[in-house]
Amino acid sequence: MALYGAPIWADRLNAENRARLRAPQRVVAIRVVRGYRTVAWAAACALAGTMPWELDAQVLAEAHRERERRRALNEFPAPEELREERRQAQMRMRDRWKNDLEDSLYEVRTPPVVRPMAGEGAWQDRV
């Protein structure tokens, strides 16, 4: 439900809306990892193996734009092609999330044990 209409609003997220989107995701992620309410949003998401919903929204928006672009060219790709394009978009966003976790913003608050978990293979099963 949080990502309903994501292709429409994903590119218009501002800091306030990101905070509104992160709050419920943090609650869900903390419950998934059975963490305490003091666990940071980035750490909870990394431990739960989920990307931020704002990045998931970007994946959906990219897939939608690509479908619309191809329809405008009167191309109708096979479902396998569309799935592959979406998988590639998810991989790009996963790499972006990994870089965000390694960024100094999260490095200060996120324990070193969390950062490797958010990298290799964390989302392999979901992609």
Q: Is residue 16 part of a domain?
A: yes
Tokens of 65: 């734009």
What value does the mean pLDDT of the chain take?
81
Say if residue 119's pLDDT is above 80.
Answer: no
Q: Using pLDDT thresholds of 50, 70 and 90, give the confidence band for residue 126.
A: very low
CA distance 47 to 74: 43
pLDDT for position 8 = 85
Domain count of the fold of the chain: 1
Q: Is residue 124 part of a domain?
A: no
pLDDT digits (tens, 9 = 90+) for 27-75: 999 998 888 888 888 888 888 888 888 999 999 998 898 888 888 999 8
11 DSSP assignment: G
Give, rounded to a whole angstrom, the gap between the first and last alpha carbons of the chain: 20
106: Cβ contacts below 8 Å, ≥ 6 apart:
40, 42, 100
Q: Is residue 25 part of a domain?
A: yes
What domain range is 55 assigned to?
12-117
Q: Is residue 112 part of a domain?
A: yes
Q: Is residue 2 part of a domain?
A: no
Could you tell me the pTM of the whole model? 0.71
